């Protein structure tokens, strides 16, 4: 299976963590693919016209896009360990959606923050800060229940979003006032699948 991959992408990292958790990492042929909002990449677009990564090309040519879809596919392939059943399933999916939304916000925030000051929209910057803060608070409120659940697709997304905040928003101080989320993230960061997939600016 060919994976459009980058060591910088938190969405790709979700897929890589799942692959390691499921024992499937060796089956992925990771192809370095440069995805940037302002620069459509024809090599990616052959497989994903949105020019976004991750995109997974299966051996029969079928293409799966979106990190959550790909993680669910890998879980299915491995016999299902990361997607719970029953009520826990909807909890995990909701947690994943919230974390994906947090990642989307952080990326938009970074794009805006990195513009020359004269071109920044102050109202957007303020709104990003408010929404990111509220989402982090919600994760703190989800403790200790979230920490007690077996590791699932939602935990992967939350951990990747927090680690991305460390990577691109070191000054955000997301740990302040969120002791339980902080403690949970220490455990997340120590997992072999997470250690094997560190995000780097390369
Ligand atoms: N919802 C998608 C988001 C993927 C995404 O935005 N990936 C970024 C890389 S971190 C990308 O490809 N950006 C290029 C672009 O937006 O054109 C997912 O979960 O896979």
Rounded Cα distance between 84 and 68, Å, is: 14
Summary mean pLDDT of the chain:
97
| pLDDT value at residue 77 | 98
Q: What's the 51 CA to ligand 1 centre distance in angstroms?
A: 8
Tens-digit pLDDT profile for residues 177-195: 999 999 999 999 999 999 9
Quick check: 117 pLDDT over 90?
Answer: yes
The reply to whether ligand 1 has any atom less than 6 angstroms from the CB of 163 is no
- 35 close to ligand 1 (CB < 6 Angstrom): yes
For position 105, what pLDDT does the model report?
Answer: 98
- pLDDT over 90 at 199, yes or no: no
- Indicate whether residue 11 lines ligand 1 (CB < 6 A): yes
Nearest-CA neighbor of 163 among 32, 20, 31, 7? 7
Query: Taking a C-beta distance cutoff of 8 angstroms, is the pair 90, 39 a contact?
Result: no
Does pLDDT of 14 surpass 90? yes
Mean pLDDT for 72-77 is: 98
The CB of 34 under 6 Å from ligand 1? The reply is no
- Residue 60's pLDDT is 97
Q: What pLDDT shows up at residue 86?
A: 95
**What average pLDDT score do residues 12-31 get?**
98
Q: Distance between CA atoms of 17 and 120, rounded to whole angstroms?
A: 34
Contact between residue 90 and residue 30 where contact means Cβ atoms under 8 Å apart:
no
d(CA 191, CA 189): 6
pLDDT of 202 > 90? The answer is: no
* Beta-carbon count within 10 A of 6 CB: 20
Going by alpha carbons, the residue nearest to atom 10 of ligand 1 is 9
Q: Is the CB of 135 under 6 A from ligand 1?
A: no
The share of the chain scoring above pLDDT 70, in percent, equals 100
Q: For residue 41, count other CB atoms closer than 10 A to its CB.
A: 16
Give residue-wise pLDDT tens across range 45-56.
999 999 999 999
Which ligand 1 atom sits closest to the C-alpha of 100? 19
From the CA of 23, how far away is ligand 1's center (Å)? 24
């Amino acid at each position: 299976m060919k994976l459009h991959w980058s060591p910088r992408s938190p969405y790709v990292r979700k897929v890589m963590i799942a692959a390691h958790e499921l024992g499937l990492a060796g089956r992925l042929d990771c192809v370095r693919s440069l995805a940037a909002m302002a620069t459509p990449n024809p090599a990616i677009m052959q497989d994903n016209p949105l020019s976004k990564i991750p995109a997974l090309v299966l051996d029969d040519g079928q293409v799966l896009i979106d990190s959550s879809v790909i993680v669910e596919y890998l879980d299915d392939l491995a016999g299902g360990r990361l997607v719970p059943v029953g009520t826990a399933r909807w909890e995990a999916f909701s947690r994943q959606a919230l974390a994906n939304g947090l990642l989307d916000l952080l990326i938009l925030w970074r794009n805006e923050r990195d513009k020359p000051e004269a071109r920044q929209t102050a109202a957007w910057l303020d709104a990003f800060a408010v929404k990111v803060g509220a989402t982090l608070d919600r994760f703190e409120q989800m403790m200790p229940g979230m920490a007690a659940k077996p590791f699932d697709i939602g935990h992967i997304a939350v951990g990747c979003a927090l680690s991305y905040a460390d990577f691109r928003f070191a000054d955000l101080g997301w740990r302040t006032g969120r002791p339980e989320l902080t403690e949970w993230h220490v455990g997340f960061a120590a997992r072999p699948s997470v250690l094997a997939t560190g995000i780097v600016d390369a």
